[in-house]
Structure 1
């Protein structure tokens, strides 16, 4: 059959039908585009203070323009258990997304060693509903203080922070514990702190939670070190394959203020998304008891 006879046989309606079927076939065979990341644009930014033997130093890590803070970390270099983090404070508020974290640290006992403090900011493209929530303990001279910051109903927690007020290096954060599990999203963080040495003044512990609208795949992963009386230990919590780290936490068990978490470092970099966090702790004074360290990773779908 010639082309002209075919056109006369099927007519203009037949030609239109053929065109529609061709388009439909093209749609069926077209490859699917990549799914959007649960937390797009995730990177880790760092800032380090000068090194010296001063009693106190502070540094702020700020997210690049257009990004927001979803998680935090810090590292003390050269302090080997003689330096405690007193302030670990995301900015922002209950109606404002955080964009930076400030880390301040004091010498617990005088040391002539030079040391530095590094702040880590885990940053991402803007997340819906991102805010910073705070909760404070009582203000008194008790040996132990605790506070839990919980996200508003319907939100989940991507990261956290803490602050000790009034104790200037004489208290140690023992618990920085997000809730949640390998099957459920965290929604709150509990901060617990002990006096490292007897302190007669009044002081307060504040917990900060970084909260957002629900994030696909958000969970909490736990890793625990050996339980013994060694002076130092560290442990790494790693996100499952296909997940990225948004934030983290730690917990010291059995040392009751005698161990200092010196390193709390997410991996990644300024162009690389973090996938794990390492927590490391030294005994602040000689301690004969057994203790362990837990590292918590808050992870979301890649």
Structure 2
């Protein structure tokens, strides 16, 4: 009997030892590193021919297998003499965007050559990525505004706009994602003024690029000094450890008298963007003071 008891006791102890080793082994296994919220993030650029045409347009397309999370643009050589009329990501309510088209008109005819650069911020496919659009009423009002909101449960990664029927007579003054330094954005508001009064009807379309929630998504902000300078510039940098998926801007106090000429995410075809620069010119000189705000939409790198 003693041999049988010892055998049972030994067996119980052995089982406990094996279990202990298994638990100890589980404790020392290293944790997997956190996944990037937007893997494969890069910035692609495309530039139109430099001409003196009244209208210029160009499309930047993501590399095969990548999708568009956000976008930017630069007007080269226009220095306040041209306005962006179309800043349009493709895609739809059930289709991920993969490209952005930028179209701009001369606000007033000038003899110099100029061109348009479109920037596409692209990543490996993101879950639930779609493009939402909302168009405001068509009217002859001096100011038009509309907001595009992501579907319930999704967050905003990027933005776009379009002025319908303005053909160079409208200026986007407010291109503002919501959210904050601890809050994920979910909508973008687009507000535009008539650059010069005109009789025709026109409207504003806001585009929201939306995805399933992303780790660490926030909205970062920076604002330039308030001055009466002809040119204002400000750069927003994502917080440490985050990358830029999209952006926005706001002109404070200009009310249609200034145009954003430079809306440029940094990065490149092998480098993720982490900042956005907003540069704006007075379209016509005016005495008032004004400033520029840049917004960065940032997620965990």
State the 1:34 CA deviation.
2.0
1:18 CA displacement: 7.5
Residues 17-72 of structure 1: CA deviation (Å, up to 9, x unaligned)? 87876666555434333211011111111111111111111000111111111111
Aligned counterparts of 1:252 and 1:301: Cα–Cα separation in 2: 28
The superposition leaves residues 131-157 of structure 1 with CA deviations (integer Å, 9 ceiling, x where unpaired) of: 111111111111111110011111110
Q: Which residue of 1 aligns with 2:185?
A: 186
| Cα displacement (A) at 1:167 | 1.0
1:189 & 1:32 partners in 2: Cα distance? 37
Deviation at 1:165, TM superposition (A): 1.1
Measured after TM superposition, the shift of residue 238 of structure 1 is: 0.6
Cross-structure match for 1:81 = 80
Structure 1 residue 113: Cα displacement: 1.2
Q: 1-side partners of 2:230 and 2:165: how far apart?
A: 28
Asked if 1:54 is matched to 2:53, the reply is: yes
The corresponding residue for 1:94 is 93
Partner residue, 1:227: 226
Question: 5+ residue gaps in structure 2?
Answer: 1-9
What is the deviation of 1:200? Answer: 1.0
Q: CA deviation at 1:171?
A: 0.7
Residue aligning to 2:129: 130
> How far does the alpha carbon of each residue in 1:80-127 deviate from its partner, in whole angstroms, 9 at most, with x for none?
000100000000111111110000001001111111111011111111
The alpha carbon displacement at 1:12 in A equals: 10
In structure 1, runs of 5+ residues without a counterpart are 1-10
**In structure 1, distance between residues paired with 2:19 and 2:81:** 75
Residue in structure 2 matched with residue 106 of structure 1 by the alignment? 105
Shift of 1:199: 1.2
Deviation at 1:216, TM superposition (A): 1.2
* TM-score (normalizing by structure 1): 0.92
Report SS of the residue matched to 2:295: strand
Matched, 1:45 2:18: no
Normalising by structure 2, what TM-score?
A: 0.92
The 2-side partners of 1:34 and 1:154 are apart by 26
CA distance in 2: counterparts of 1:41 and 1:143, whole angstroms: 42
SS of match in other structure, 2:64: coil
* Structure 2 CA distance for aligned equivalents of residues 53 and 26 of structure 1: 71
Aligned CA RMSD, in angstroms, stands at 1.9
Q: In structure 2, what is the equivalent of residue 173 of structure 1?
A: 172
For residues 107 and 240 of structure 1, the distance between their equivalents in structure 2, rounded to whole angstroms, comes to 36
1:279 is aligned to 2:278: yes
Q: Secondary structure of 1:64's partner?
A: coil
In the TM superposition, residue 198 of structure 1 has moved relative to its aligned partner by 1.4
Question: How many residue pairs get matched?
Answer: 294
What does residue 201 of structure 2 align with? 202
Quote how far apart the aligned CAs of 1:16 are. 9.1
